[in-house]
């Protein structure tokens, strides 16, 4: 089939839509991606890309069309407005052209943020008279209010109306978290459109996933040290590792509060792998409170290097602030941690904590409770290695059953199979569970 995938981010940016597009191309489908010039997370165009460079390219059998965009820069509000606005206008123009002259059987919109990425999808869908499915990974306007700090009722009302319009013109709404259901149904009678489509562990994270402290893990990380000058020697002791974006949503204040409470317990070592807008604050906190001996910032690394980091950790950490949107979200890193067979310590509420409890792969405390989190890490340090390994194994089994990439690709192909008739009869009355994955 001829598929148009519309997304804000695509290769070389690291997002799950990459895996899906490449897999569909490998299965013989003709895949075109309409996206923007890459600028995430650095805030600038990477080497080789620009307004006049690589605007059209072919990557692993996928044709990639890149719309104009103003880079997000340091991520300030003005630059983000320019970034979002320029992307919307450019993609709508390109969508008009593709809708008039392109040939597609099916449109899939990958919505991270902002929600306006759905507008060009509707344009192509209407002009080509083909169904559009909307893959939701970020709730709007909740994200604008909870994460962006926007409280103006007119602005929230506008984006609420726009989101409702996009949902209305979508054949199916794919939700990455079961917690999204209530929010979307509050927008209108969309329950029959919902399809549970959870994240999967990144395909590139297929490296070592044996128990922590094994010879294989240590050899893997030693190899990484020799080949990647950005890596630092991991400290000795009980390694608790945070991997991913260091941002506002991740509640670094509470994470550092737990590290401060454990300052004198030198055997508990915090290893933070990643980068983000909050990193300068973390660096200053470490310096101000003398945490250099127990908190280690290891920087951002290619996704292919992450299995070696995971393998060398004893416990993986996930934290989220307490808010409506975050409580309804299961962070994508959960799947990566589970797939690596690592036990998880979490400080968050809602859907993510429920998944950990359901899988039996770790423990969680309430969002923002630094003291309880510190106590949890003390408790996990005291467990036998066999207990930690058993948690990790349960998480890996749960991941295989519920977050399998092959099933996700099959789900999309099932949706595509009904594209010619735009039939919705293949789903249940609620629409949840078309993949057959555990509810």
Same domain, 281 and 163: no
Is there a domain that residue 385 lies in?
Answer: yes
8 Å CB contact between 271 and 296:
yes
* Same domain as 312, residue 258: yes
- Residue 425 falls within a domain, yes or no? no
What CA–CA distance (Å, rounded) separates 119 from 163?
A: 9
Quick: pLDDT tens for 256-272.
999 999 999 999 999 99
pLDDT of 422 reads 52
Q: What pLDDT shows up at residue 420?
A: 60
Determine, yes or no, domain membership for 172: yes
Number of separate domains in the chain: 2
Note whether 102 and 172 are same-domain residues: yes
The token duo for 69 is: 């965009």
Task: Give the model's pLDDT for residue 363.
Answer: 97
Q: What is the CATH number of the domain that holds 150?
A: 3.40.50.2000
Range of the domain at 300: 215-402
Please indicate, yes or no, whether residues 242 and 252 belong to a single structural domain of this protein. Answer: yes
Residue 438 lies in a domain: no
- So what's the pLDDT on residue 113? 86
Looking at the structure, do residues 162 and 126 belong to the same domain, yes or no? yes
pLDDT of the residue at 368:
95
CA distance 49 to 211: 40
Residues 272 and 129 in one domain: no
Looking at residue 134, its pLDDT comes to 98
**Residue found by looking up tokens 């608790």 in the block:** 240
Cα-flanking dihedrals φ and ψ of residue 245, to 5°?
Answer: -70, 135
434 within some domain: no
Point out the residues of the chain with pLDDT beneath 50.
207-232, 423-432, 434-439
Q: What is the radius of gyration, based on Cα positions, of the chain?
A: 22
439 is a domain residue: no
294 plus 398 within the same structural domain: yes
For the segment 383-438, what is each residue's pLDDT rounded down to a tens digit? Answer: 999 999 999 999 999 998 888 899 999 999 999 988 765 544 434 434 445 444 43
My answer on whether 180 and 328 are in the same domain is no
**Same domain flag for 253 and 315:** yes
Residues 149 and 265 in one domain: no
Quick one: 194 and 220 in the same domain? Answer: no
Has residue 426 been placed in a domain? no
Q: What pLDDT score was predicted for residue 203?
A: 59
Same domain, 233 and 144: no
SS (H, E, C) the chain: CEEEEEECCCCCCCCHHHHHHHHHHHCCCEEEEEEECCCCCCCCCCCCCECCECCEEEECCEEEEEECCCCCCCCCHHHHHHHHHHHHHHHHHHHHHHHHHCCCCEEEEEECCCHHHHHHHHHHHHHHCCCEEEEECCCCCHHHHHCCCCCCHHHHHHHHHHHHHHHHCCCEEEECCCCHHHHHHHHCCCHHHEEECCCCCCCCCCCCCCCCCCHHHHHHHHHHHHHCCCCCCCCCCEEEEEECCCCCCCCHHHHHHHHHHCCCCCCEEEEEECCCCCHHHHHHHHHHCCCCCCEEEEECCCHHHHHHHHHCCCEEEEECCCCHHHHCCCCCHHHHHHHCCCCEEEECCCHHHHHHHHHCCEEEECCCCHHHHHHHHHHHHCCCHHHHHHHHHHHHHHHHHHCCHHHHHHHHHHHHHCCCCCCCCCCCCCCCCCCCCCC
For residue 77, what pLDDT is reported? 81
Structure tokens at 358: 């359901």
pTM attached to this predicted model: 0.80
Residue 432 lies in a domain: no
pLDDT for 224 equals: 47
Q: In what order do the strands lie in the sheet with 132-136?
A: 56-59, 62-67, 30-36, 2-7, 106-111, 132-136, 172-175, 194-196
Tallying the residues shown for the chain, one arrives at: 439
């Amino acid at each position: 089939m001829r598929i148009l995938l519309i997304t804000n981010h695509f290769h070389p940016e690291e997002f799950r839509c990459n895996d899906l597009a490449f897999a569909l191309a490998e299965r013989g489908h003709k895949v075109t991606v309409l996206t923007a010039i890459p600028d995430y997370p650095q805030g600038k165009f990477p080497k080789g890309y620009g307004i006049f460079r690589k605007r059209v390219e072919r990557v692993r059998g996928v044709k990639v069309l890149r719309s104009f965009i103003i880079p997000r820069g340091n991520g300030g509000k003005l630059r983000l407005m320019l970034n979002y606005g320029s992307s919307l206008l450019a993609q709508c123009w390109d969508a008009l052209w593709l809708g008039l002259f392109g040939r597609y059987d099916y449109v899939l919109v990958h919505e991270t943020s902002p929600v306006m990425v759905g507008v060009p999808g509707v344009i192509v869908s209407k002009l080509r008279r083909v169904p559009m499915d909307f893959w939701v990974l970020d709730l709007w306007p909740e994200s604008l209010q909870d994460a962006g700090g926007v409280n103006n009722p007119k602005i929230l009302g506008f984006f609420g109306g726009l989101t409702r319009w996009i949902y209305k013109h979508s054949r199916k709404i794919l939700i990455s978290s079961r917690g999204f259901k209530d929010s979307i149904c509050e927008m209108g009678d969309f329950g029959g459109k919902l399809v549970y489509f959870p994240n999967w562990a990144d395909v590139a994270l297929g490296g070592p996933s044996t128990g922590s402290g094994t010879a294989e893990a240590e050899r893997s990380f030693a190899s990484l040290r020799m080949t990647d000058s950005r890596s630092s020697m991991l400290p000795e002791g009980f390694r608790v590792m945070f991997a991913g974006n260091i941002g506002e949503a991740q509640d670094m204040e509470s994470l550092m509060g737990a590290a401060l409470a454990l300052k004198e317990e030198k055997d508990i070592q915090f290893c933070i792998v990643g980068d983000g807008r909050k990193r300068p604050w973390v660096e200053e906190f470490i310096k101000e409170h003398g945490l250099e001996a127990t908190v280690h910032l290891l920087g951002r690394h290619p996704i292919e290097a992450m299995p070696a980091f995971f393998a060398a950790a004893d416990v993986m950490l996930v934290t989220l602030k307490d808010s409506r949107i975050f409580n309804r979200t299961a962070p994508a890193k959960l799947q990566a941690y589970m797939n690596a067979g690592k036990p998880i310590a979490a400080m968050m509420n809602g859907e993510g904590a429920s998944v950990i409890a359901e899988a039996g792969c770790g423990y969680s405390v309430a969002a923002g409770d630094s003291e309880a989190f510190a106590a949890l890490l003390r408790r996990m340090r005291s467990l036998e290695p066999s207990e930690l390994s058993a948690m990790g194994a349960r998480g890996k089994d749960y991941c295989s059953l519920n977050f399998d990439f092959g099933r996700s690709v099959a789900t999309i192909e099932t949706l595509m199979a009904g594209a010619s008739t735009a039939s919705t009869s293949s789903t249940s009355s609620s629409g949840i569970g078309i993949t057959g994955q555990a509810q």
